[in-house]
Every structure is written in structure tokens, then in C-alpha cells.
Structure 1
């Protein structure tokens, strides 16, 4: 269900008052254009006689809220590693420096922990020279962490350093933290903008058709599946079992399965399955074809595993290892069937997370960073840079974090997965 128009409105610190320095080199600017949320005739039908919901289009404005030559900006990265983090950092620094002439940019180390003075983590001074080649490396120059910090402590740091725009790069937990920070800043009447840049390798944030790092993750996951297929074909009763990332959403597993097209079983969190049905279907596949490839998202089949009840610093429930679980269950089942088999188990998670971004993601990260800078300079706050219906847009953080993006079992994507794998209904 599409949100109403009121919930798509982005907060603004105040009226714009300074000319944009880009006026000297750029001829086109965003005026009042907006990005429609509906994308099909069926979705548009209820709005034939009223304005459909829309997002404010991202891009540079002719006038700014801040005088860029007099302010400092800050940036931090939170959560797990993801291809493209350094690309985003570099884009923000280059855009602030060369497009807007911002003289001081702070890189807060290890996420929100670096913004809290009590932790004693001095920020890095970021310049074009510092970020010159970081996009060629995986990980994040600034380091990352999970978990919240005290709002007052972080705001004191921003005020002490005269930071007027903070860029927070992270997933849903990071964005919720950014929203809480932005709202407290507004409550105190301070002129500090908070702009989120959505980072989720799982591609599970709403109103972002493809999050950065996802294309790289699918590409690397496909390599793991190719290796699993080679191993499976090279043994009598060979089984290639690959566990991929995806706590709550199986987009990496689904898209890698489609890109590879050698996967026979694609298991994702959104589509529960009965263990007995899966094992029976796997046995039938081995008897008919002699080998099989299984791709499973890390969050799949958690209802079949014992739960420790433990949570990480972000509050996420610690998952059971579905890969090891399935390897054990497959072995026990096939031994009982008297079949000769060989399982090769591959878990490339941290290899995928830590690689540098591919070309498609690098270009995308550049655009996200540029649009984040445009938003901050124009005084937009409590928002993230989204991408919807082919356009970059400003999405209120409350809307972006309202729920998680997941694969719908009736979606075109999942129907294509079923067609490519040929797996039966195992519910």
C-alpha cells in the first residue's frame, strides 16, 4: 500500500538564502518537480481525481540554506561492511570540496561511537588527498560499529566542531538513529541537517530500488555458485551448498540464482519450507541428474533451528547457522537413503562484504554522495537519498524505516526464481 502525501514530505531547516555556487558551471537545477510513487496504471487508478503520493526529487537547488564556505560537515559509517562504502565517502568529500567549497570535513570514526565525546575517538580530517584512492579498496576508511549512543553527547560534538550537516551511511538501524538525532536537533531549535545514505548489502530498505553494494554482492555470490556447480558436477552425488547473506530478505540469493541459472534450490527467509519436503526433492534431483546446487540465504529456515535468544549491538537476533544445519540434515537423510553423495559447503559472506565495489556500484555511489550533499546544503533534514521509478528522491527517514523490503512469494521476481530452478512447492 502506498503512503499518503503527508508522510512523504521532507523536513526543512528553513528558507533558502544563499546562491548555489554551482550556478557558475551548471544550467539545470531542480525546482518543484517530484517523483511519483505509483508506477503502473493500476496503481494510479485511485488517484485519477486527486494528487498521487510523490517524493521530492533529489538534485541541486538554485538557493541554499547554508553558506557552504562558512560551515563544517561530518560523515560516519555504521553497521556491517558493504562494497561501496569508500566510494560514498569519497563522493561526499569531493562534492563538498569541489562543488560547494566547504572548508572543513570531519570523518567520525567507528560510526556513532566516534560522534560521542565520551569514547575519546578523534575525527579524521577528510580532504580530496585523503580519499584520493580509497574507492579502490574494500571496507571503510572510517571504520564502523553497531549500537546507539547518547543523543546529547553526539549533539554536543556537532556543536563543538560547528558541524552543520551530518551524513550518516548505514542500514535501517543507522537510519533510525539518524532520525532520532535529527528530531532532537529540531526540538532544540538547532540549524544542523542530518542526511542518511542507505547502505544495505541485503537490498532490504524501502524506496531504494537497488541499494549500493548489492550489484557487487550478486556478482561475487554468482562466482561462489559457479564454483559450487563445478564441485557438484565433479562428484558422484555431488551437492554444492552455498550460504549467502540475507538476514530477513533473500534478494542476493534470488538474484544470484537467476544470474547463475545452475541453482536447483533457492531458499530464502520470505518463503518457508518443510525440511522433509526439501530433502525429498533433493533426493529426487540426485537420482534423476546425479548432482544438485543449493543456494540458501542466512536468514532462511530459522524456525527450524534452535534460537539462542541473543542479540547483537544493533538489537538484531543472532541467527542460527542454516548452512551447517542443512549440511548435517542432508547428510543424515541421504545416508538413510543409501545414496552415495558428496557435499561441498561454501560460505563466502565476509569475502563478499569486504571487496571493492564493481563499476555499476561505484557509479551509483557517486550519485548517492552527490545527491546527499545537495540535500544537506539546501537544508533538508531527517531524510535519506532514495531511488524510485528511475529517479533519485528525498525520502523521510520515518517512511524509509517503517518496514523492511522483502520478496513477495507472488512477485514476478520469485516466480522467475521458481521457473529458473524448477524447484517444487515445499511448503
Structure 2
């Protein structure tokens, strides 16, 4: 096996095309670090487990479906407790920070990091950083104990508060150093993970024995590599309530139309899965699939046809869909929030008005109801499946930090949790691929037009061309065309 140091990335190569994209380790830049027996070996909770330490060489394959002649492919280091740890329990002074927008499950992750450190590793010094990254040097901190966090998973939001962007890396690391913090757990989306990567690099530059672990948070499910981000299931579940309300309103009036705007700035996963789960949606519009309003094959023509057939219809639209059509508002398209995200126009209000104008011009009766449940969805506690996912993420991050791994994000890859280097989750965004089977399933379910002409389909296939086409959009290429989350 060989190791590449290009771009300071830990790439281990093996036989038959095997590639391990490894994560940094404290021993990479701090020589002669002592190790200690893992206290889990004396933990009564794990006494009945046959093998509670994972093999050091265990990896998780990025691609689960391959052909017999496929190369070995990309792998990531498997999560789990190691026999040797690089921190003594009394030495650990952990900190937890939450960044970016709200998402169901943040409090569950906080709770499980605190309880996992305490009950698995005997760590009793955990600090909550208030108000996002800037809280390291400008806000109060909260001592976190199992008693403090006991019931927080039943609440939405984050008990630590959050913010977007605007932090100074050197001040953050100064604070980490001054406070004697040895483990930093960062809960946030791609922007927060980019920040975590920069913080890790500064810690490494200073030669500090501080492990930096990321827990990816995005309700949009737009973080690449991982199967699914926490909060996504809850978001899809709660979106059903808005769709149900839109459907009841629509079918109760002559030519009733319910329009529901869901989250999805760049990726339409929530809109797509909520549509597939609902069965009451007639049309789903997402950022990845361009659509048009006027003319043959356009949205208005489809609406007239569906209303004539059924007398009512429901439209689900992701917040980032159709932004290119808002020509009168293009002057705001290049403005950004503190996290670097584009400030989008309210496409739900815009399309609702366009629909009303179209039918008014034709002197046709239309009863349209517009529902935007975004902040109601983001603010609720997580459902059972997300709570389980949050527990696994938190404990996996703890095991990694205790074992000396750093500069990593943790997440499920093909159903098995893995340690993923920061650059893999920040280099691009996970998006719905409209030439994959999942989108075809949606089109079949709603029986809506694809709004794509043959030229658009050819171009889309060129952009996402895999080496070999496989079932359900999976591919044996290093960059998969899609990952059908939660199938």
C-alpha cells in the first residue's frame, strides 16, 4: 500500500484500485503521543458485546453496487471505539458548538455527545459554546452535564443558540487554547464544516493536541457522500401536514389549487421525498429541474389539464426552484447571507401570483391557497428515526476524537458510519439527479411533465455521465451520480 500527501490529503492506495480517503490523526503532527487503554473495556454497558473494538483496518466502501470487473473503489475509515485512546478521561475538556440554521435533532446530538462522553469515557468537563462560532470569544459558555441535557431532545432548536458566519479563526483557536479545550464538536452544515476545516488547520499549525470533529447538519440533505443527514426524515414527515392541508383546501373549492413551498435552496430532496410520500401532489418543482410556465408542455398548460380532470390540484415547490424565472428580481440574486448562501426570492409567492394572473386573464375561476411551513418544520423536535441517527452520529464522533482522529466529519455511508475528511463534504453539494430513477419514480407518481426537452436531457446526462449505468442511479465512478437517500 502507498500513501499520497498531495494537498495534505491522506490517501492510501491498495490492490485492485482500492483507495482509502483517510482522515487526519493527532499523531500526524504531534510526535510520541502516549496512548491509553480504552475505558470501554471496563464499561458494564459493553460487557456483553462480543467485539466492541473495531479493527483498525476496517473501512466502508463508498459504492455498494459494483460489477464483477469494477475497480476496488473509494473507501472511508469505519467508525467505532479503538483499543487504544489518545486522551485520558480527566484530560478531556470538550466543547460543543452549533452553527447555521435550525434543524430537527440538534438538541439530540448535543445530549448524546454529553452523555456519551460521560457514560462511555468518564468525561465530565463539557462546555457548550453559545451563539455559534463567535461564541468562542464573544459570548457566554454553558457547562453541560447529563443532568443539564437530560430532556433537551424533546425540544426543537438548539439550547446553545446559533449564528451564521462572521467568525475569526485565530480568535477561536486562541479561546480553545486559553480555555484548555482538547476536543471540539461542531454541529453544522457545509458552511460550518468549512469553518471547522479552517479551525482544524490552525490547530494543526500550532501543534495543539485538540481533536476537531464535525457532525453534518442540514435539513435539505445536500451534504455529499453521506446517505442522509439528521433532521431530513423529520422534515419530510412534517411536510406531510402542510401538503395534507393544501390538499384539503384545494379539493374543497372549485378549481382549488394548493401551493406548498418547502426547504431546498439548491437541492430538492425534501420536496421530492415529501411528494413521493404524500400521493396527493400533482406537481413537484425543484431547483435541479428547470421548468417553464407558458406554452406547450409548460406548467400552465398542465394545470389547466389537471384541473379539468380532477377539479383541484396540489403543487409542491422547493425554495430554490425557478429562481432564474424571477427576472424582475434578478438584482438581488447575487446578494448573500453571512454563511455565503444566496439570498433567494420567495418563489412560492411569485409562482402563486403568476398562476392567479394567468387564470384571471382567461377569466377562469381559481381558488389558490399558499402555504409556507418552513420555520414550523425547522423548529420541531426530531422524530424517532432521526433521534436514533443523532445518537449514532454523536457516539461515532466521540469514538473518533478519543482515538485521536481529527479534522473529520462523521456520517452514514451505505448504512455504515464512517469518518470522512472535511474536503469531501465541502467540495460540492448533494443534488437530485434528474436523469436517475428516483426522479423518474416521482414523475410516474405525479404524472407531471418533466419540463425537459430532449436537448436538456442529453445535456443533463453529459454532466452526470457515470462510467457504468447501474440500478437506481448508482455508479462505479469515483463521483456517484446520486445517492438515493433512505431507500
- The two structures have a TM-score, normalised by structure 2, of 0.84
Residue 206 (structure 1) aligned with residue 206 (structure 2): no
Q: Which runs of 5 or more residues in structure 2 are unaligned?
A: 1-10, 14-18, 28-32, 453-487
Distance of 2:154 and 2:259 partners within structure 1: 31
What does the per-residue CA deviation read over 1:314-368, in whole Å, with 9 as the maximum and x for residues that have no partner?
Answer: 1111001100000110001011222211001000000000000011111111111
Residue 11 (structure 1) aligned with residue 24 (structure 2): yes
Distance of 1:4 and 1:407 partners within structure 2: 30
Preserved CA contact (<8 Å) 1:242 1:296: yes
Indicate how the Cα distance of structure 1 residues 295 and 16 shifts in structure 2: closer, same or farther if over 3 A, else same. Answer: farther
Higher deviation after alignment, 242-251 or 5-14: 5-14
Residue 303 (structure 1) aligned with residue 324 (structure 2): yes
- In the other structure, the counterpart of 1:325 is 350
- The two structures have a TM-score, normalised by structure 1, of 0.95
- In the other structure, the counterpart of 2:315 is 294
Distance of 1:36 and 1:104 partners within structure 2: 35
SS of 2:257's partner is: strand
What does the per-residue CA deviation read over 1:359-381, in whole Å, with 9 as the maximum and x for residues that have no partner?
Answer: 11111111111111111111111
- In the other structure, the counterpart of 2:423 is 398
Q: Which runs of 4+ in 1 moved over 4 A?
A: 3-7
Residue 381 (structure 1) aligned with residue 406 (structure 2): yes
- In the other structure, the counterpart of 1:258 is 276
- In the other structure, the counterpart of 1:153 is 171
Aligned pairs for 1:8-407 within 5 A: 8-14=21-27, 17-25=35-43, 26=46, 27-31=51-55, 32-42=57-67, 45-47=69-71, 51-115=72-136, 117=137, 119=138, 121-276=139-294, 277-305=298-326, 306-307=329-330, 308=332, 309-407=334-432
SS of 1:8's partner is: strand
SS of 1:242's partner is: strand
Higher deviation after alignment, 30-39 or 246-255: 30-39
Distance of 2:425 and 2:152 partners within structure 1: 29
What does the per-residue CA deviation read over 1:3-28, in whole Å, with 9 as the maximum and x for residues that have no partner?
Answer: 99567110000166111100113342
SS of 2:95's partner is: strand
Give the drift of 1:112.
Answer: 0.1
Distance of 2:155 and 2:304 partners within structure 1: 43
Preserved CA contact (<8 Å) 2:134 2:168: no
Distance of 2:126 and 2:135 partners within structure 1: 14
Give the drift of 1:279.
Answer: 1.3
Give the drift of 1:271.
Answer: 0.3
Give the drift of 1:103.
Answer: 2.4
SS of 2:69's partner is: helix
Distance of 1:16 and 1:165 partners within structure 2: 17
Distance of 1:220 and 1:378 partners within structure 2: 37
Give the drift of 1:148.
Answer: 3.5
Preserved CA contact (<8 Å) 1:58 1:393: yes
Preserved CA contact (<8 Å) 2:99 2:187: yes
SS of 1:381's partner is: coil
Residue 409 (structure 1) aligned with residue 434 (structure 2): yes
Preserved CA contact (<8 Å) 1:85 1:140: yes
Distance of 1:38 and 1:81 partners within structure 2: 31
What does the per-residue CA deviation read over 1:141-187, in whole Å, with 9 as the maximum and x for residues that have no partner?
Answer: 00000004111111111111111110000000000000011011111
Preserved CA contact (<8 Å) 2:262 2:317: yes
Distance of 1:128 and 1:425 partners within structure 2: 51
Preserved CA contact (<8 Å) 1:178 1:194: yes
Distance of 2:392 and 2:352 partners within structure 1: 42
Distance of 1:295 and 1:403 partners within structure 2: 25
SS of 2:70's partner is: helix
Preserved CA contact (<8 Å) 2:124 2:145: no
Residue-pair matches, total = 418
Give the drift of 1:98.
Answer: 1.0
Q: Which runs of 5 or more residues in structure 1 are unaligned?
A: none
Distance of 1:52 and 1:19 partners within structure 2: 33
Q: Which of 424, 427, 443 is the aligned partner of 1:418?
A: 443
Give the drift of 1:41.
Answer: 2.1
Higher deviation after alignment, 129-138 or 21-30: 21-30
Distance of 1:284 and 1:243 partners within structure 2: 22
Distance of 2:89 and 2:362 partners within structure 1: 71
